[in-house]
Structure 1
């Protein structure tokens, strides 16, 4: 087994979360925590924060600490920080920073959008690559934020431009039904949403009338992780 395969769950955590804003108004700052599970066993804790940064910009951050299994043994952690502005009710990307650290490996990514020239620049430590930006574009850290807002607005099918490593990729999602979900924060009658244009992706369960974040999220690749809401505190 390779180091990469051992660390795949932590590397994959960057695909997961987002937050929410009131329709066409400034969102309320918050802090939320999640348990991170793999195979039903505790693996880590995720802390997610949203706060205003001034000049119409917002910062959305996620910090994941390994607390069990190999993640704890290797001292693994993932830190992500997104800066964005609101375009309607879409968190339009300005910048995104990702850092995964462990005893045996480090991985980073810096993404910045030059909206004046409509260009995205991505650097993973080997030199920057650039490609054209798209209006209303999100990045992987704020993806679930945009999905949560769409569900709040009653949408059942969602297509989003997402800035990935080498291009802006249109990703498609669909509400597949309602399910009762039990997590540490309580029991919820939740809406389930799935990505429909990829064999491997994620499923998320939202209770948009209760919280702006998913109450549960299951990632189907990178280690089959499950994140469950523990607490949510508006600020």
Structure 2
């Protein structure tokens, strides 16, 4: 296992949720992606028409420093009153992390407006062998403030002013997948866990060959170039509702997620 046995630090929501989260759903539900030959990658094509949200279920394998760490699942479901809920779960199944029984669960309820995906509420639960931490966030658009309660640092409990278009980490990843086009630069404002900051993503001009779970893809590379203290890269394919691969680099090393299946 790479790194010291301090899993709570390594799997806090700002780290892994920002990496995923994420995440997808801007494309229609799809069957398993048809592999392309690794030696004949398709040329760049015009950006596809933006599709409506559609429910999906996705499963990832997670690696830390090249060694198996666990699994992650991401689900998008339609709920009442024209709202959606995106659920993320990350469970450590290997090494010292599994001995600590690490389990992270996060859900965000949101709707769609002219400004984009609008977060309404958020719930996060982090479990380890001797601890359980829970935090709840409420985005009050009638007062244009967001606030978190529960196991939240004191300096992050104050209300955060909201602006149209503000999103949390999971929804930024949804928007990133929706907006990714060859050569594009994407700007979003992150409001999550009592913090607000600007984030910027840059999309590659051409598709790159990627092999994930023995399948070869022609994927757009999306780099997060501003926002947060780590480097995150996504590879996205239009017909797949989540990134096929995510790599994040931080002080603890590399964290990688590879898509195993989706429906």
Structure 2 length normalisation: TM-score?
Answer: 0.79
| Distance in 1, Cα, partners of 2:146 & 2:235 | 31
Q: Contact 2:115 / 2:164 at 8 angstroms: preserved in 1?
A: no
SS of match in other structure, 1:20: coil
After superposition, the Cα gap between the structure-2 partners of 1:205 and 1:47, relative to the gap in structure 1 and judged at 3 Å, is same
Tell me, yes or no, if structure 1 residue 61 matches structure 2 residue 87. Answer: yes
| Distance in 2, Cα, partners of 1:232 & 1:2 | 33
Tell me, yes or no, if structure 1 residue 41 matches structure 2 residue 46. Answer: no
SS of match in other structure, 1:15: helix
| Distance in 2, Cα, partners of 1:164 & 1:220 | 20
Partner residue of 2:242 out of 213, 216, 230 = 213
What residue number does 1:179 align with? 208
Between 1:129-138 and 1:29-38, the stretch displaced more is 129-138
After superposition, the C-alpha distances for 1:77-124 in whole angstroms (9 at most, x for unaligned) are 100101011124832111111111111333332111111111111124
| Distance in 1, Cα, partners of 2:195 & 2:249 | 22
What residue number does 2:9 align with? 8
Partner residue of 1:123 out of 138, 149, 153 = 149
What residue number does 1:18 align with? 23
Between 1:85-94 and 1:32-41, the stretch displaced more is 85-94
- 1:222 offset after TM fit, Å? 6.0
What residue number does 1:200 align with? 230
What does residue range 129-208 of structure 1 map to in structure 2 within 5 Å?
Answer: 129-151=158-180, 156-177=184-205, 178-184=207-213, 186-198=215-227, 200-208=230-238
What residue number does 2:32 align with? none
Tell me, which stretches of 5 or more residues in structure 1 are unaligned?
none
Point out the structure with max Rg over C-alpha: 2
Q: Contact 1:134 / 1:168 at 8 angstroms: preserved in 2?
A: no
- 1:9 offset after TM fit, Å? 2.5
After superposition, the Cα gap between the structure-2 partners of 1:180 and 1:154, relative to the gap in structure 1 and judged at 3 Å, is closer
| Distance in 2, Cα, partners of 1:89 & 1:46 | 29
Q: Contact 2:188 / 2:200 at 8 angstroms: preserved in 1?
A: yes
Q: Contact 1:86 / 1:92 at 8 angstroms: preserved in 2?
A: yes
| Distance in 2, Cα, partners of 1:102 & 1:133 | 33
Structure 1 length normalisation: TM-score?
Answer: 0.88
RMSD: 2.3
| Distance in 1, Cα, partners of 2:91 & 2:185 | 33
- Length, aligned pairs only: 230
| Distance in 2, Cα, partners of 1:67 & 1:104 | 17
